[in-house]
Structure 1
């Protein structure tokens, strides 16, 4: 059983279309943030002609990551403490 299914956060665990859409979007955000980090961060050596993110892209990434993290923590607390 995957970690997302333990938190009841997979699309397959919901019947409502709106929850499937939101959870699919959240999954896409997490995957996109990982790709952004791999392509644009200083964590990997840059080849010639490396792309630099504009400040608005960095702000979007930080805000999406923060919102996603808060949602995951709130979900975990509800499941484990509530």
Structure 2
């Protein structure tokens, strides 16, 4: 079991290891919406990027998609189920 294999107790942050700031993510999403122009506003607080170590390597976990594919699939899902969130 996982407990016997020294995987417990521990916190696992399932992540890809990719680190992007908010602007990079917004610009990537906007590639799927070419008619939208972003509106830049001053942030009230300085942006914070949390760098997390990926502990899932113990289990040889790796992401199924790269960043571009993940954004494209997310956008596609939101478009497909637009009636649920509008």
User: TM-score of the superposition, structure 2-length normalised?
Assistant: 0.25
Q: Which one has more relative contact order, counting CA pairs under 8 Å at least 6 apart?
A: 2
Return the structure number with greater helix share. Answer: 1
